[in-house]
Amino acid sequence: MHNLHEIPVSSLSGVGKVKAQAYANAGVYSLYDLLYYFPRAYEDRTNIKLLRDTSPECKSALLLTVATEPRVHNIKRGMSLLKFRAFDDEDTCEITYFNQSYLKEKFPIGSVFRFYGRVERQKNKYLLNSPAAEPWVETIQPPPFFSVYKLTEGLSQKQISQNVEAALVLAKESLPDPLPEEIREKYNLCTIYYALKEIHFPTSYASLATAKRRLVFDEFFFFATALSSSGAKTIKHTAPPCTDSDISALLKLLPYKLTGAQERTISDIAADMAKREPMSRIVIGDVGCGKTVCALAAMYIAVKNGYQAALMAPTEILATQHYHDLSPIFEKLGISCALLTSSVSAANKRKIREAMTSEEKSRRLDVVIGTQALLSDGVEFAAPGLVITDEQHRFGVNQRALLSERNKHTHVLVMSATPIPRSLALVMYGDLAMSKIDEMPPGRQRVDTYLVDESYRERLDGFIKKQVDGGGQVYIVCPAVEESELDEGEVDMSEIALYGESLVKKEKPKLKAAVKYAEELAVRLDGYSVAFVHGKMKAADKDATMRDFSMGKIQILVSTTVIEVGVNVPTACLMIVENAERFGLSSLHQLRGRVGRGSRKSFCVLVNGSEGRLGDNAKQRLTTMCNCYNGFEIAEEDLKIRGPGDFLALSGNSSIRQSGSLDFNLASTCEDTEIMSSAFTASREYLKIDPTMKNHPPMKQAAERIFKMSGDIIN
Ligand code: ADP
Ligand code: MG
């Protein structure tokens, strides 16, 4: 038995140092990697054309008979051409191969080949350069599909095919199936060997579909498996019990009464924190439902019981806003609190870190608020009690492992504003206790949503003025300045790139470049204060602008999606989304949630910038936004429109994809929600019986491979 993980590609004949490096550049090191280096497309060579019906733009399949004996012409030192002619029913064509004189014997006069290549025309001649060629015998016809691999420099299609073929020979004997037979049988799946063979060398459309189904199933199955096994470990640790959960002093300081849902959530949290076992809870609730106050209560409880708390936000803006909102309340409660972001000076950072670790209680900092980036590396606590992660749309297996590893002895609370479909919630948060805030604070109104196009521009300007004249504030969101240079902190930009890509090809919309747009708007709306924030601004400038906006000094804020997450400005009453067709449903929903946070009647206007060429999916998204106001319903719709692979790769788990730890290789092209559900169920059922996968080691190995995680995280 060989272990294909341990056999380097360089062990294959024809793969030397240079080729091995080329493979490494494509992320392929072992034979196992090679087998999972799936084709990016397939050529269908069954559509055979006559020479005269071909077009030089695309490759065609041709059935040609060799007419002349191949001749080798030596043109320069070390350079040769092999030439011969071949014909179909109507025309003749000249075929040339470069530096492949050894092919001379392959093409005897009168033999028939299926050629595949680009036919060029020169005057009245047809030319075919270095086409693929397969002998054509009526009885044994060559396979219909040919794999097309993504190439890196130094690799050819042919090379990869040959190497994969060789690897498959070994795999036949030594590749254990990561799914046990009972699962394969129950879910009607082929073996892994068959799947890999057919994905690389399909013998028919049906067999290719069978193979793909199996491999997609695996991706979902191991995604679910790795997620559940990475969470399982936290339970063994202990955390400080916080038994004093009287928050009445805090409640007195709030200008409002808690909603029923908030009360329930806070009492869930208090009950968890009173235990010696670490809390591991997620609070899910639509934007604006009031999650922050639940976090506040949790931090208060931790500090009240003598421990420290940290609140991590995904962006500087959000961390700063939390600090500004919460620190006055903390102050009244006699709780010390600091803000830790990249704009804090090094000296102050050091001071904060010292205060966090101070053994002396009077000098010790109780609460620190900051960005995830800063808090997740290098902050030590003298008396760790609670870690809260806010706006966790980007919750992946790695973050999860990090959290539980680093904060072995703290309670952990995660807050998510991304309503996710039930089927996914079960997998992603199945092992976390969940509190759902399904009730909005009183007095909230529906944010009426309209879809308009360029012809409404003038009326839209008028509407902006009307809102501002009435004391309201306006957000205008444009797609990123330059898509290719997205900022990390910007949530869901990957999603925009996705739709963007498909739209650029199909619809080529004019993009509102945010900078230019802000300038033009300032001219059109002379006398109003317009400001601009984008992802590439310095954090300090961005924060200053955001603060001015939230204090009402700025009336109209043009931005890229940096405002998407969490920002709270109660007087904002109009959200305009330019090129709305480029945003995904969950982004649009998040953006709409920025307005309607106060008592003012609020609106969301989606501007379709595609000039009438709206794709079906985009149309469906925008209509959904106008008709649907419930985040969970929108999430279900999003899953339906995008399909599970895309949905997972780009919304709930963008971090997984970004960190490269999970590539939904084939699943990202899967539109079938059924198969995802089956795979999730299968994983759950299996782990119930064998949680550590000890009965089937290949399964454990596959789960680890998908997440490229070390064995000590999954155990
Ligand atoms: P999110 O869940 O999106 O984080 P926030 O916690 O930022 O929402 O709350 C949104 C707004 O609602 C804030 O201005 C907050 O003060 C307000 N709010 C929260 N809870 C209540 C409540 N029970 N009654 C009235 N307003 C509330
Ligand atoms: Mg929030």
Candidate from 262, 289, 389 with most ligand 1 atoms within 8 A of CB, to mutate: 289
Give dist(CA 151, CA 155) in Å, integer.
Answer: 6
Structure confidence at residue 654 (pLDDT): 36
pLDDT in tens, 191-200: 999 999 999 9
287 pocket-lining for ligand 1 (C-beta < 6 Å):
yes
Mean pLDDT, all residues of the chain:
82
Give dist(CA 662, CA 221) in Å, integer.
Answer: 13
Expressed in angstroms and rounded, the spacing between residue 282 Cα and the centre of ligand 2 is: 13
- Please, what is the angle between helix 316-332 and helix 292-304, to 10°? 50
Ligand 1 atom nearest to CA at 597: 11
**Measuring from atom 15 of ligand 1, which residue has the nearest CA?**
290
Ligand 1 atom nearest to CA at 437: 2
Which ligand is located closest to the Cα atom of residue 283? 1
Ligand 1 atom nearest to CA at 254: 16
192 pocket-lining for ligand 1 (C-beta < 6 Å):
no
**Measuring from atom 18 of ligand 1, which residue has the nearest CA?**
290
**Measuring from atom 12 of ligand 1, which residue has the nearest CA?**
290
**Measuring from atom 22 of ligand 1, which residue has the nearest CA?**
441
441 pocket-lining for ligand 1 (C-beta < 6 Å):
yes
Minimal CA–CA distance to 617: which of 590, 578, 646, 597? 646
Candidate from 293, 324, 602 with most ligand 1 atoms within 8 A of CB, to mutate: 293
Expressed in angstroms and rounded, the spacing between residue 517 Cα and the centre of ligand 2 is: 29
pLDDT in tens, 366-418: 999 998 766 656 668 889 899 898 866 554 554 555 555 555 688 989 888 77
290 pocket-lining for ligand 1 (C-beta < 6 Å):
yes
* Strand pairing class (556-559; 530-533): parallel
418 pocket-lining for ligand 1 (C-beta < 6 Å):
no
Q: Which residues contact 234 (CB under 8 A, 6 or more apart)?
A: 278, 280, 404, 408, 412
The total number of residues written for the chain in this structure:
715
Phi and psi at residue 351, in whole multiples of 5°? Answer: -60, -45
Query: Which parts of 136-253 are beta strand (E)?
Result: 145-148
Q: Does residue 503 surpass a pLDDT of 70? A: no
Fill in the DSSP letter of residue 711. T
Candidate from 258, 283, 568, 595 with most ligand 1 atoms within 8 A of CB, to mutate: 568
pLDDT band, residue 119 (cuts 50/70/90): very high
Q: Does residue 673 surpass a pLDDT of 80? A: no
599 pocket-lining for ligand 1 (C-beta < 6 Å):
no
Q: Which residue has the higher pLDDT, 558 or 652?
A: 558
Q: Which residue has the higher pLDDT, 564 or 455?
A: 455
570 pocket-lining for ligand 1 (C-beta < 6 Å):
yes
Cβ neighbours, 10 Å, residue 242: 25
pLDDT, average across residues 314-329? 88
594 pocket-lining for ligand 1 (C-beta < 6 Å):
no
Ligand 1 atom nearest to CA at 292: 6
259 pocket-lining for ligand 1 (C-beta < 6 Å):
yes
pLDDT, average across residues 528-537? 84
Give dist(CA 566, CA 402) in Å, integer.
Answer: 23
Fill in the DSSP letter of residue 259. P
292 pocket-lining for ligand 1 (C-beta < 6 Å):
yes
**Could you state, in order of their start, the residue ranges of all structural domains in the chain?**
46-142, 240-437, 448-628
The answer to which of 43-57, 220-234, 626-640 has the lowest mean pLDDT is 220-234
Give dist(CA 465, CA 527) in Å, integer.
Answer: 10
Expressed in angstroms and rounded, the spacing between residue 301 Cα and the centre of ligand 1 is: 19
Expressed in angstroms and rounded, the spacing between residue 599 Cα and the centre of ligand 1 is: 12
Give dist(CA 9, CA 410) in Å, integer.
Answer: 45
pLDDT, average across residues 323-346? 92
Structure confidence at residue 660 (pLDDT): 33
293 pocket-lining for ligand 1 (C-beta < 6 Å):
yes
Ligand 1 atom nearest to CA at 291: 2
Expressed in angstroms and rounded, the spacing between residue 416 Cα and the centre of ligand 1 is: 14
Q: Identify any residues that bridge with 113 across adjacent strands, giving them in sequence order.
A: 64, 135
**Measuring from atom 19 of ligand 1, which residue has the nearest CA?**
290
Structure confidence at residue 68 (pLDDT): 95
296 pocket-lining for ligand 1 (C-beta < 6 Å):
no
pLDDT, average across residues 566-589? 85
277 burial level (CB within 10 Å; 0-12, 13-18, 19+): middle
Domain 46-142 has CATH 3.20.20.60: no
pLDDT, average across residues 153-175? 91
289 pocket-lining for ligand 1 (C-beta < 6 Å):
yes
CB contact at 8 A, 397 and 709: yes
Domain 448-628, CATH class in plain words: alpha beta
pLDDT in tens, 632-672: 888 888 888 777 766 665 443 333 333 333 456 677 666 67
Specify the DSSP element, H or E, that contains 401: helix 397-406
Q: Which residues contact 225 (CB under 8 A, 6 or more apart)?
A: 683, 686, 687, 693, 699, 703
Q: Which residues contact 574 (CB under 8 A, 6 or more apart)?
A: 463, 464, 467, 472, 473, 474, 475, 595, 602, 603, 604, 605
Q: Coil, strand or helix: which one is 604? A: strand
Expressed in angstroms and rounded, the spacing between residue 133 Cα and the centre of ligand 1 is: 68
Ligand 1 atom nearest to CA at 568: 7
pLDDT, average across residues 563-592? 82
Expressed in angstroms and rounded, the spacing between residue 569 Cα and the centre of ligand 2 is: 12
417 pocket-lining for ligand 1 (C-beta < 6 Å):
yes
Q: Which residue has the tokens 């089956």?
A: 678
Cα–Cα distance list, 95 to 63, 91, 111, 182, 685 (Å): 13, 13, 14, 53, 58
pLDDT band, residue 485 (cuts 50/70/90): very low
pLDDT in tens, 682-713: 998 999 899 888 999 999 888 877 665 433 33
The answer to which of 89-98, 260-269, 544-553 has the lowest mean pLDDT is 544-553
pLDDT in tens, 19-36: 999 999 988 999 999 999
**Measuring from atom 5 of ligand 1, which residue has the nearest CA?**
290
Structure confidence at residue 95 (pLDDT): 95
596 pocket-lining for ligand 1 (C-beta < 6 Å):
no
430 pocket-lining for ligand 1 (C-beta < 6 Å):
no
- Measured at the CA of 394, the angle between CA 620 and CA 318, to 5 degrees, comes to 100
- How many separate helices (H) and strands (E) can be counted in the chain? 25, 24
Q: Which residues contact 345 (CB under 8 A, 6 or more apart)?
A: none
Structure confidence at residue 646 (pLDDT): 65
322 pocket-lining for ligand 1 (C-beta < 6 Å):
no
Structure confidence at residue 573 (pLDDT): 95
Q: Coil, strand or helix: which one is 151? A: coil
Q: Do domains 46-142 and 240-437 have the same CATH topology?
A: no
Minimal CA–CA distance to 116: which of 102, 100, 101, 136? 136
CB contact at 8 A, 189 and 217: yes
CB contact at 8 A, 31 and 171: yes
Expressed in angstroms and rounded, the spacing between residue 50 Cα and the centre of ligand 2 is: 63
Structure confidence at residue 670 (pLDDT): 67
Structure confidence at residue 99 (pLDDT): 87
Give dist(CA 145, CA 45) in Å, integer.
Answer: 6
Minimal CA–CA distance to 679: which of 227, 172, 198, 38? 227
pLDDT band, residue 488 (cuts 50/70/90): very low
Ligand 2 is an ion; its neighbours by CB within 5 Å are 566
Return the CATH fold of 240-437. Answer: Rossmann fold (3.40.50)
Which ligand is located closest to the Cα atom of residue 266? 1
Structure confidence at residue 712 (pLDDT): 34
210 pocket-lining for ligand 1 (C-beta < 6 Å):
no
**Measuring from atom 9 of ligand 1, which residue has the nearest CA?**
290
What distance, in Å, lies between the first and last C-alpha atoms of the chain?
Answer: 25
Ligand 1 atom nearest to CA at 285: 2
Expressed in angstroms and rounded, the spacing between residue 287 Cα and the centre of ligand 1 is: 9
pLDDT band, residue 164 (cuts 50/70/90): very high
Expressed in angstroms and rounded, the spacing between residue 293 Cα and the centre of ligand 1 is: 7
Structure confidence at residue 529 (pLDDT): 92
